[in-house]
Amino acid sequence: MSLQVLINGIVLGGLYACVGMGFSLVYGVLGISNLAHGALLMLGSYVTYWLFTLYGVDPFLSIIPSMAVLFVLGYLIQRLVINRVMGGEIRTTLILTFGFQLLLINVALYIFKGDYRAVSPSYAGEGFRFGSLTLPYARLAVLLIGIGSAIALQLFTTRTKVGNAIKAVALNRRGAELCGVDINHVYAVTFGIGAALAAVAGSAATMVYVLTPYIGQPLLGRAFVVTILGGMGNIVGPLLGGLALGLAETTGAAILGTTYQEAISFIFLVLVLVLRPQGLYGRQFFGGS
Amino acid sequence: MKKSDPDIQVARPAVSVALTTLVQQPMVKVGVSAVLLAVAVLVPFILTGYWVRVLTTMLMYAALASSLNIIMGYTGYTDFGNIVFFGIGAYSTGILMKVVGLPLLLAMPVGAVLCSLLAVVMGLPILRLRGYYFAIASLGLSQAMRELVRNMEITGGAKGFSFPMWRVPPRTFNISIYFLMFGLMLMSIAISRWVLHSRLGYGLRAIRADEQGAAVMGINTTWHKITAWALSAFMTGLVGGAYGFWFVYVTPDDVFNILVSVKYLVMVLLGGAGTVAGPVIGAFVLEYVSDFIWARFSVIHMGVLGLAIILTVLFMPRGFLHMIRTRVRPLLARAIIRAERS
């Protein structure tokens, strides 16, 4: 029994890590807590849904177009709107992104309606079975996507020019500017990448949750927890944080009952903030390695 | 005498000067307040039930915004999860009325005191955090509380909780609730005004300006912040209790709804955080717009709120009052002077 709980926790954690990665990146580089992350995730889910329903595209394949669409959207949102309040009080951006969230969700509600939808490819219910343990294919794939995203992001920031520029801006904005980096462009690209990562999580989420315009909301809460647990702005951090949270939730649910699952994640959040705000991983963005 | 006569050219601008000084006279403020008060007292007897309810909602939000202003406006700590006190106030008032048999006007303050206690207990660890972390922690707290309440027996869990009903004719009920909320709004404004001019308020504003500096000057920042949060919690709890009694049936998703607390947070910003009148004005304006949109385009209601938030943050980050003082008034003054000269 407890081994199943462990497995469930790890694969759930994979999804949470996926959700937290984009959030963490945006926080680490722009200093913004993007409350619209859940809504962006939701849009990614809908891209996947429509590609699957209209053209039969496998949900995991539709991650690429989903990322592309959300990258553009994220870039525009940052460049045109959020950029105007960069450098102000933190609460300004918090509230601004919250406003975006309301707007995006309502737009989705208006266009797609609140109907419950599902993405169910042929392998939806199947999984590996070892004795009494089950490991659904879809969830395992989500975990692999989470790990894959982390690796991809790490490679991107260390091996590409844009990635290096992003890293530079995160470490020292002035210094980066003096080296000729276009800060506005970097900010917008980073936000776009954050949105793209949200889309990845969104596409993955369609395999796990029922799709409504609100699919991103509980995941946004988890993104916070994961980011703080992992130490903001990190890449490996959210991965570990996601796994930790996933395990905590499934263990807690096994002990207290499934209705407590969300309560656990928020209590976890408050506890971590109070006891160890620098997170489990506890390092500055890219500082040391 | 021609218009270009030097004597008249000197005399004319005096009118605009006289006007602007007149508007700032304390007696004028008192007079305007008295008129508004009289109108507010008479209005529920004249209007239909629908408008009485709309106004009652506006009064409720004004009370909430004003109480949030204490922790957010004066102290500068963005409290995203202030709704937690609303919810606890609602549930505790209800439980005290139903299970213990207390009358409303006794249950409300007891519930509110419970909220203050929670603020003190949670405030000690949470208020130590930097502003941004506090916002997230308060958010987490409110969501955690919602889930906990959803799982409790005594609150009825997800099925919701019913207040004991007050069996009177609808009109009497509506008007009574109107005056209850009106009283709470006045109380909230009074507390806000009192805090602003007190030593507590001085300390809070110092904390807002520079917390380290304030600590260096000998202000006990922890005590100040906790007191501010507890005061805000108390007032919000009272309003929550009144809400529960008004709507009779509450669920965790209703009264721990983060959208509500963001709404009155925007009202504070919109009107002008840190002023007494600002949150109240913001509440009335935003709630009126909100109700207008809800009545006509209920499907896009949330989106319009989102748009309002975005526009407010982009163009009026310091609020309506601030914008009036710094932009509108000089424009008006110049326009008057120009009109006089021609």
The interface residues of chain A toward chain B in range 252-271, judged by CB-CB distance below 8 A, are 257, 259-260, 262-263, 266-267, 269-270
Element (H, E) at A135: strand A133-136
DSSP-derived secondary structure for B19-32:
HHHHHH-HHHHHHH
Decide if A260 and B147 are in contact by the 8 Å CB cutoff.
yes
Q: What is the pLDDT of residue B4?
A: 57
What is chain B's mean pLDDT, rounded?
A: 86
Which pLDDT tens digit goes with each residue over B84-128? 999 999 999 999 998 888 898 999 999 999 999 999 999 988 888
Break chain A into its structural domains and give their ranges.
2-275
Decide if A274 and B129 are in contact by the 8 Å CB cutoff.
yes
- CB of A99 within 8 Å of a chain B CB? The answer is yes
pLDDT for residue A234 is more than 70: no
Average of per-residue pLDDT across B302-320: 84
pLDDT for residue B213 is more than 50: yes
Listed in sequence order, the residues at least 6 apart from A157 whose beta carbon sits closer than 8 Å to its beta carbon are A163, A164, A166, A167, A235, A286
Decide if A263 and B144 are in contact by the 8 Å CB cutoff.
yes
What is the band of B3 on the pLDDT scale with cuts at 50, 70, 90? low
The distance of Cα B128 from the centroid of its chain, to the nearest Å, equals 24
Query: In one letter, which amino acid is A183?
Result: I
Which pLDDT tens digit goes with each residue over A5-49? 888 888 888 899 989 989 988 988 888 889 999 999 999 999 999
Q: What is the pLDDT of residue B17?
A: 66
Decide if B135 and A94 are in contact by the 8 Å CB cutoff.
yes
Lowest-confidence region among A234-248, B203-217, B278-292: A234-248
Q: What is the pLDDT of residue B155?
A: 78
State the residue for tokens 């199947």: A126
State the residue for tokens 């006891």: A275
- CB of A94 within 8 Å of a chain B CB? The answer is yes
Decide if B317 and A92 are in contact by the 8 Å CB cutoff.
yes
What is the band of A70 on the pLDDT scale with cuts at 50, 70, 90? very high
Break chain B into its structural domains and give their ranges.
47-256
Phi and psi dihedrals of B161, rounded to 5? -130, 135
Q: Does domain A2-275 have CATH number 1.10.3470?
A: yes
Decide if A262 and B147 are in contact by the 8 Å CB cutoff.
yes
Work out the minimum CA distance from A32 to partner chain B, whole angstroms: 10
Q: What is the ipTM of this complex?
A: 0.79
Which pLDDT tens digit goes with each residue over A259-280? 777 788 888 888 888 777 665 5
Q: What is the pLDDT of residue B140?
A: 87
- CB of A96 within 8 Å of a chain B CB? The answer is yes
Query: In one letter, which amino acid is B114?
Result: L
Nearest CA-CA partner of A286 in A28, A54, A39: A28
Average of per-residue pLDDT across B332-342: 78
Which pLDDT tens digit goes with each residue over B220-239? 989 999 999 999 999 999 99
Q: Which of A85, A257, A273 sits opposite B313 (nearest CB)?
A: A85
The dihedral of CA A139, A142, A146, A147: what is its sign?
positive
Decide if B309 and A105 are in contact by the 8 Å CB cutoff.
no
DSSP-derived secondary structure for B215-226:
HHTT--HHHHHH
Work out the minimum CA distance from B329 to partner chain A, whole angstroms: 25
Q: What is the pLDDT of residue B2?
A: 57
Q: Cα–Cα distance between B90 and B256 in angstroms, integer? A: 10
Q: Which residue of B has its CA nearest to A97?
A: B310
Determine contact, residues A14/A139, Cβ cutoff 8 Å.
yes
Largest CA distance in chain A: 61
Nearest CA-CA partner of A95 in B309, B253, B202, B90: B309
Residue A183 structure tokens: 């800060």
Average of per-residue pLDDT across A57-65: 88
A133 - beta bridge partners?
A130
Question: Helices A137-159 & A161-171, crossing angle to 10 degrees?
Answer: 80
pLDDT for residue A282 is more than 90: no
Q: What is the pLDDT of residue B16?
A: 60
Question: Helices B199-209 & B221-247, crossing angle to 10 degrees?
Answer: 110
Residues of chain A with pLDDT > 70, as a percent, come to 93
Average of per-residue pLDDT across A233-258: 83
CA distances for B139 relative to A157, A223, A224, A232, B84, angstroms = 32, 13, 11, 18, 9
For strand A133-136 and strand B161-162, is the pairing parallel, antiparallel, or unpaired? unpaired
Structural Rg of chain A based on CA atoms? 18
- CA atoms within 13 Å, Cβ hemisphere of A256: 16
Inter-chain CB pairs, A–B, below 8 Å: 120
Q: Cα–Cα distance between B182 and B37 in angstroms, integer? A: 10
Q: Cα–Cα distance between B131 and B206 in angstroms, integer? A: 15
Q: Which residue of A has its CA nearest to B132?
A: A90
State the residue for tokens 């009370």: B63
Q: Please, what's the b/e burial string for A39-71 (b: 16 or more CB within 10 A of its CB; e: otherwise)?
A: bbbbbbbbbbbebbeeeebebbebbebbbebbb
Q: Cα–Cα distance between B170 and A140 in angstroms, integer? A: 58
Decide if A102 and B302 are in contact by the 8 Å CB cutoff.
yes
For strand B249-250 and strand B161-162, is the pairing parallel, antiparallel, or unpaired? antiparallel
Q: Which residue of A has its CA nearest to B300?
A: A106
Other beta carbons less than 10 A from residue B321's beta carbon: 22
B84 - beta bridge partners?
none
Which pLDDT tens digit goes with each residue over B245-301? 999 999 998 899 888 888 898 899 888 888 898 999 999 998 998 888 888 878 888
Other beta carbons less than 10 A from residue B238's beta carbon: 27
Work out the minimum CA distance from B90 to partner chain A, whole angstroms: 20
Nearest CA-CA partner of B84 in B283, B257, B265: B257
Q: What is the pLDDT of residue A286?
A: 40
Nearest CA-CA partner of B65 in B195, B198, B232, B306: B232
pLDDT for residue B152 is more than 90: no
Query: In one letter, which amino acid is B196?
Result: L
pLDDT for residue B11 is more than 70: no
Decide if B313 and A96 are in contact by the 8 Å CB cutoff.
yes
Residue A236 structure tokens: 């490996």
Which pLDDT tens digit goes with each residue over A147-164? 888 888 888 888 888 888
Q: Cα–Cα distance between A77 and A59 in angstroms, integer? A: 26
Decide if A91 and B131 are in contact by the 8 Å CB cutoff.
yes
Q: Would you list which residues of chain B are within 8 Å, Cβ to Cβ, of chain A?
A: 78, 80, 125-126, 129, 131-133, 135-137, 139-141, 143-144, 147-148, 150-151, 259, 262, 265-266, 269, 299-310, 313-314, 317
Average of per-residue pLDDT across B65-76: 93
- The terminus-to-terminus CA distance of chain A in angstroms comes to 37
Residue B75 structure tokens: 């102290």
Residues of chain B with pLDDT > 90, as a percent, come to 40
pLDDT for residue A1 is more than 70: no
